[in-house]
Amino acid sequence: RFSIPSPKMPDPAFLSRAGPLDGFAPISLAEMDAVKLMNRVDTKYLTDRATLADVLRDAAAAGYRVLVADGSRISPYDSIYFDTEGLRMFTDHRNQKLRRQKVRTRAYVNSGDAFLEIKRKNNHGRTKKKRTGIPMADLPDFRANDAACRYLAGHSDFEAGQLRPTLETLFQRITLVNPDLTERLTIDTNLCFKNFRTGLETSLGEAVVIELKQDGHAASAMKGILRDHR
C-alpha cells in the first residue's frame, strides 16, 4: 500500500544510546494480560530520539519492564483507519468532541495477528477499546467480512457501508510496564503515514510519540520522569 519503503528496522546504534533496551527486565505477553487497560485514561507526549534515550535510562532505573513479543523488544505495527465520506470521526477528534469514536484495523506484524478495533472516548476522558480478530488479508479492508461487519454494528455507531479506508500508519513500538503492573507506556518511532484520499505519504522523522495508559489518574513515576525531561 505504501510506495515509499516501510519504516526501517530500529538502528542498533540508537538502541545502544537508548539505554540500551536490554537493560530492562522483560515482561511477556501473558504477564501483560494483567495490564490490558481496555478502559483507561490516556496521556500523550511528543519528544525526539535524543530525549527518548534519557527517558529510557530513567525508566529502567525506576524498575519499568519492557515487553518482549516474538523474541523482540521493538514491534512493528500496521494500522488502517476508517471514516465516513464526510470524515466524521476525524472532525469529532479535531473539534475535541468529548464523546467520539475511532474504527481501525491493526496488524501486529511480528506475530501475524490482525484485529478490527473500535475505540470510544466518553465525556470523562476515559477510552474503551473493543476488538475482534480478523484474517490478515482483511487488514486493508474488512468490509467484505460479515462477522467483522456485525461486530462493528454491535459495538459502534457505524455500519460498514458508511466507512471506507482513509489513513494508514506504520510505526515501531516499545512497550514499558511499571513494577506494580498498573500502567503501560507505549513509545512509537519511525512513524509513517499514507492518506488514501490524496495518495500523499509522509513521516515524522526523528519525532517520538509517547502514550501513558492508566486505569485512572493515579500517581505515576513515569509522569515524573517525563516532566523532568520536559
Tens-place pLDDT, residues 91-141: 999 998 989 999 999 999 988 999 999 999 888 777 888 999 999 999 999
Alpha carbon distances (Å) from 181 to 64, 67, 68, 213: 9, 12, 15, 11
Neighbours of 227 (CB within 10 A): 9
User: Max CA-CA distance within the chain?
Assistant: 50
Tens-place pLDDT, residues 159-204: 999 999 999 999 999 999 999 888 889 999 999 999 999 999 999 9
The pTM (predicted TM-score) of the whole model is: 0.82
Strand, coil or helix: 124:
coil
